[in-house]
């Protein structure tokens, strides 16, 4: 049968897995058919994971940079190097910066945070992913909650604001597909893709970054038709202010901002007001703009005033917090003094500008920050300004290349953990299936051994204690022993979020946005919006070198007026104010003419890495990276 475990990748599904091993050591990974969310199938990213585990490219020993060459050293020497440098900088602990990402998720990853918290080191804040949208929901409803995914089957209409269901969240995709087969109408709103969408009945192609104006146009229609119930408004605050804001506009000016037709407003008005209940899927892409939080807040407002919140078949679906079901007081209670914070989207700039004290040591784990954060060149310059840089990774990534010391890490299936999901209500026991190769170690082992070498020492709770304390939560009714035996448990959450329109603000009422910002015009000489969208076969930059085809491919719309300037027989470059990247140009009839599509995650050192072209900035709320605010041009060199 195999062993039940779970996926810890940075994906909302957090699949329950069954893994079997052959006598030769190869593994087979499949979805758990007895799990009501995973339903026996998984994505290509998981199915390829065995190839990453057994790759000859894995780093198997600690590596020390000696001038321009890497030397193998022992764990004893590596840990002594780390301890010596921590002791050297410990009198000013905020000169040490810990950067942790979500390359692997789980309870035990919070032990890393506990270690550096006890040290008093600086840490990061903000997000490279979804924080603008997350905070939009907090502002609007007071918390971040979803309906149970199976409630999509009760919707008469599903409006998908931008989610690429062919490349991410395949179990959400399966639920949408099932609803569609049962007669639910599915509407997609997005700037497009290189291939036609097969999950929707209708596609509204919107100008990138302008979703708030389309939502506002439908809201204006509701106001003009006096089609908003007083029962709904009684559950909100500051409706008069919001109504006055919307009434400053006319429908024509709103739809001109997003380059859609009046018929698009007709379609959405019918979906939200006539063919209800209407469920709303909010993708993370539409909040990766300067006014990304505003985009989400206007979509929420539309769902709210059209009576789609707190009812079966309705609701707004977005990323949850993957740790929301756990009790993390064992980490949080240790933070007695405020720590210096560095914003992830601006990480290069903030390291360079840090004073009193400057950053003297970096510790990076679970994050290929050089590749994944905006302005790669600036981040590399920031790394080079730091005295001692430690990167914990399994491969020689763009970030590992900038280290003084690389510590080889264990990967998924090579370590035990407990993991939650940011797309459903399940938590899972993550069973260890295979031993890490060579001398690769878990983050927990590394920091436990390092802590022993410090003076004063830093200790961490043992893993079982971390698990048990985390499971002692108001949302869970289980023990570690039961979780290990069953493999997964569903947390205690209602199937319908905000039922009877009871929200989590202190007064129980929902809120509205108070501003509607114009979308900035593109800068001179850079007319095209760069959208670095997800891949089907890899999560972020977690891919083998042999999977990456160079030069990277970009797609432009077949009707783009800027194509006529380009000779595809000559070298083609993607250009921003930060630099240029040689690319392979293709066209698609399914893209908005004002955009360029790039599949993100390929490595800078191999000739990819779109983030070297993207300027560092911050979203309106949430401290998120507005990747898609970047404008570019395409030209021959």
Measured CA to CA, the distance from residue 137 to residue 10 in angstroms comes to 21
CA distances, 430 to each of 322, 414, 480 (Å): 15, 10, 12
Pick from 365, 372, 371, 369: which is nearest to 351 by CA?
369
Percent of all residues in the chain with a pLDDT value above 90, rounded to a whole number = 97
H/E element holding 349?
helix 347-353
- Residue 336's pLDDT band, with cuts at 50, 70 and 90, is low
Mean pLDDT, the chain, whole residue set:
97
pLDDT for residue 1 is more than 80: no
Span 135-194, pLDDT tens digits: 999 999 999 999 999 999 999 999 999 999 999 999 999 999 999 999 999 999 999 999
Q: Give pLDDT, residue 22.
A: 85
| Amino acid 68: pLDDT | 86
Q: In the structure, what pLDDT confidence band is assigned to residue 337 with cuts at 50, 70 and 90?
A: confident
Query: Does residue 567 have a pLDDT over 90?
Result: yes
> For 501-538, what is each residue's pLDDT tens digit?
999 999 999 999 999 999 999 999 999 999 999 999 99
CA 171 from chain centre, in angstroms, equals: 17
Q: In whole angstroms, how far apart are CA 395 and each of 34, 61, 376, 401, 454?
A: 34, 11, 18, 10, 28
Backbone angles phi, psi at 482, to 5 degrees: -65, -40
Q: What are phi and psi of 189, to 5 degrees?
A: -120, 115
176 φ, ψ (degrees, to nearest 5): -65, -45
Q: Token pair of 100, please?
A: 């942790």
| Residue 599 CB-half CA count within 13 A | 23
What are the beta bridge partners of residue 11? none
DSSP state of 624: B
Output the six-digit token pair for 170. Answer: 């395949």
CA dihedral (142, 148, 151, 156) positive or negative: positive
- Alpha-carbon distance of 160 to 177, in angstroms, equals 12
List, for residues 260-288, the tens digit of each pLDDT value: 999 999 999 999 999 999 999 999 999 99
pLDDT digits (tens, 9 = 90+) for 382-405: 999 999 999 999 999 999 999 999
DSSP 519: P
Q: In whole angstroms, what is the distance from residue 451 CA to residue 188 CA?
A: 51
pLDDT digits (tens, 9 = 90+) for 589-599: 999 999 999 99
Distances (CA, A) of 194 to 427, 537, 616: 35, 16, 26
Convert the pLDDT of each residue in 58-99 to its tens digit. 999 999 999 889 999 999 999 999 999 999 999 999 999 999
The answer to whether the Cα torsion of 324, 325, 329, 330 is positive or negative is negative
Residues 6+ positions from 350 with CB-CB distance below 8 Å:
342, 343
Neighbours of 251 (CB within 10 A): 15
pLDDT in tens, 404-437: 999 999 999 999 999 999 999 999 999 999 999 9
- Omega cis (within 30) before 456: yes
Q: What is the pLDDT of residues 88-123, one digit of tens each?
A: 999 999 999 999 999 999 999 999 999 999 999 999
pLDDT at 338 over 90: no
CB count within 10 Å of CB 523 equals 10
The two counts, helices (H) then strands (E), for the chain are: 19, 25
Whether the full predicted model's pTM is greater than 0.95, yes or no, is: yes
Distance spanning both ends of the chain, measured CA to CA: 57
Q: Give yes or no for a contact between 388 and 373, defined as CB atoms under 8 angstroms apart.
A: no
What DSSP string describes 478-502?
--HHHHHHHSEEE----SSTTGGG-
Residue 335, pLDDT > 70, answer no
Q: Is residue 64 within a helix (H) or strand (E), and if so which, with residue range?
A: strand 63-66
Output the 3-class SS for 146-192. Answer: CCCHHHHHHCCEEEEECCCCCCCCHHHHHHHHHHHHCCCEEEEEECE
Percent composition of the chain: helix, strand, coil (DSSP 3-state, to 5): 30, 20, 50
Tell me the average pLDDT across 432-454.
99
**What pLDDT score was predicted for residue 25?**
78
Average pLDDT value for residue range 291-301: 99
pLDDT > 70: what percent of the chain?
A: 100
Where residue 482 falls (left for φ over 0; alpha for ψ -120 to 50; beta otherwise) is alpha
Quick one: pLDDT at residue 511? 99
Q: Which two tokens stand for residue 408?
A: 């080889």
Of the candidates 327, 383, 316, the residue with the CA atom closest to the CA atom of residue 350:
383
Which one-letter DSSP state was computed for residue 352?
H
If one compares 44 and 336, the residue with the highest pLDDT of the two is 44
Strands (E), 361-460: 361-365, 388-393, 405-408, 417-419, 426-430
């Amino acid at each position: 049968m195999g062993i039940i475990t779970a996926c810890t990748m940075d994906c909302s599904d957090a699949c329950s897995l069954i893994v079997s091993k052959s006598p030769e050591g190869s593994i087979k990974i499949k979805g758990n058919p007895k799990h009501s969310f995973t339903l026996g199938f998984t994505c290509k990213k998981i199915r390829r994971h065995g190839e990453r585990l057994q790759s000859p490219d894995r780093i198997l020993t600690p590596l020390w940079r000696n001038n321009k060459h890497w030397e193998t050293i022992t764990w004893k020497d590596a840990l002594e190097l780390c301890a010596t440098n921590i002791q050297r900088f410990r009198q000013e602990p905020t000169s040490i910066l810990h950067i942790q990402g979500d390359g692997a998720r789980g309870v035990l990853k919070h032990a890393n945070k506990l270690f550096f918290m006890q040290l008093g080191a600086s840490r990061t804040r903000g997000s490279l992913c979804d924080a603008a949208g997350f905070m939009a929901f907090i502002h609007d409803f007071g918390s971040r909650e979803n309906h149970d995914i199976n409630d999509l089957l009760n919707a008469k209409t599903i409006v998908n604001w931008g989610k690429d269901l062919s490349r991410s969240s395949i179990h959400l995709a399966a639920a949408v597909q099932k609803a569609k087969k049962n007669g639910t109408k599915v509407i997609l709103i997005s700037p497009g893709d290189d291939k036609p969408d097969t999950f929707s009945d209708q596609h509204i192609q919107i100008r990138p970054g302008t979703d708030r104006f389309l939502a506002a146009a439908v809201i204006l229609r509701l106001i003009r038709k006096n089609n908003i119930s007083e029962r709904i408004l009684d559950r909100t605050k500051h409706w008069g202010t919001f109504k006055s804001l919307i009434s400053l506009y006319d429908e024509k000016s709103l739809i001109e901002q997003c380059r859609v037709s009046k018929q698009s407003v007709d379609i959405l008005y019918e979906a939200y007001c006539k063919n209800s209940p209407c469920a709303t899927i909010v993708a993370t892409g539409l909040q990766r703009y300067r006014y990304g939080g505003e985009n989400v807040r206007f979509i929420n407002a539309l769902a709210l005033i059209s009576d789609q919140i707190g009812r079966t078949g309705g609701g707004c679906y977005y990323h949850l917090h993957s740790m929301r079901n756990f009790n993390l007081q064992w980490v949080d209670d240790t933070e007695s003094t405020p720590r210096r914070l560095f914003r992830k989207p601006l990480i290069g700039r903030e390291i360079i500008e840090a004073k009193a004290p400057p950053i003297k040591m970096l510790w990076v784990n679970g994050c290929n920050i050089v590749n994944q954060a905006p302005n790669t060149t600036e981040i590399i310059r920031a790394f080079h300004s730091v005295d001692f840089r430690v990167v914990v990774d399994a491969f020689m990534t763009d970030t590992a290349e900038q280290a003084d010391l690389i510590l080889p890490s264990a990967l998924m299936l090579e370590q035990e953990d407990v993991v939650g999901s940011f797309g459903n209500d399940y938590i899972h026991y993550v069973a260890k299936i295979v031993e890490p190769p060579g001398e690769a170690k878990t983050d927990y082992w590394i920091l436990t051994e390092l802590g022993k070498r410090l003076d004063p020492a830093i200790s961490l709770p043992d893993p079982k204690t971390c698990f048990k304390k985390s499971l002692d939560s108001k949302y869970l009714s289980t023990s570690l022993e039961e979780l290990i035996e069953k493999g997964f448990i569903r947390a205690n959450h209602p199937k319908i979020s905000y039922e009877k329109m009871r929200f989590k603000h202190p007064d129980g009422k929902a809120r509205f946005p108070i501003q509607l910002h114009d979308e900035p015009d593109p800068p001179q000489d850079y007319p095209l919006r760069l959208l670095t969208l997800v891949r089907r076969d890899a999560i972020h930059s977690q891919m083998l070198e042999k999977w990456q085809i160079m030069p990277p491919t970009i797609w432009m719309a077949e009707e783009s007026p800027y194509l006529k300037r380009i000779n595809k027989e000559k070298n083609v470059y993607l250009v921003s104010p930060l630099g240029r990247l040689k690319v392979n140009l293709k066209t698609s009839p399914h893209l908005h003419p004002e955009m360029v599509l790039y599949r993100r995650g390929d490595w800078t050192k191999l000739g990819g890495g779109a983030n070297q072209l993207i300027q560092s900035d911050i979203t309106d709320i949430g401290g998120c990276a507005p990747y898609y605010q970047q404008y570019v041009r395409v030209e021959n060199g």
